[in-house]
């Protein structure tokens, strides 16, 4: 299986679609290590990082794309 999964949810008629990317915890851990940034800095930039790592929430594609150069 790939280290991610994409799911789309529609927030209502005429509203834009929210695309969430389910990223495996191993990939989140790798990205944290690879960034070589203090965890506190990453948590400030990505408040839901812990939830993403535990699989309790999924980031939106927009968030990942916007911050791709950060991590």
Each residue's pLDDT tens digit, 12-62 = 666 667 788 888 889 889 888 988 999 999 999 889 999 999 999 988 888
What letter would DSSP give residue 56? S
For 6, residues 6+ apart whose C-beta sits below 8 A from its C-beta are 19, 20, 21, 22, 61
User: What pLDDT is stored for residue 18 in this prediction?
Assistant: 79
> How many CA atoms lie within 13 Å of 33's alpha carbon, on the beta-carbon side?
7
User: What pLDDT is stored for residue 70 in this prediction?
Assistant: 47
Question: CA quadruple 54, 57, 58, 63: dihedral positive or negative?
Answer: negative
User: What pLDDT is stored for residue 12 in this prediction?
Assistant: 60
Is residue 66 scored above 90 in pLDDT?
no
Within 10 angstroms of residue 46's Cβ, the number of other Cβ atoms is: 21
User: What pLDDT is stored for residue 19 in this prediction?
Assistant: 83
According to DSSP, the β-strands at 4-10 and 17-23 are antiparallel
User: What pLDDT is stored for residue 40 in this prediction?
Assistant: 95
Domain extents in the chain: 4-67
């Amino acid at each position: 299986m790939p280290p991610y999964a994409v799911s789309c949810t529609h927030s209502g008629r005429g509203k834009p679609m929210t695309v969430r990317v389910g990223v495996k915890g191993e990939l989140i851990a790798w990205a944290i290590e690879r960034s070589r940034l203090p965890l506190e800095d990453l948590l400030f930039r990505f408040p839901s990082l812990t939830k993403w790592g535990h699989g309790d929430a999924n980031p939106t594609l927009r968030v990942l794309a916007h911050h791709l150069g950060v991590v």
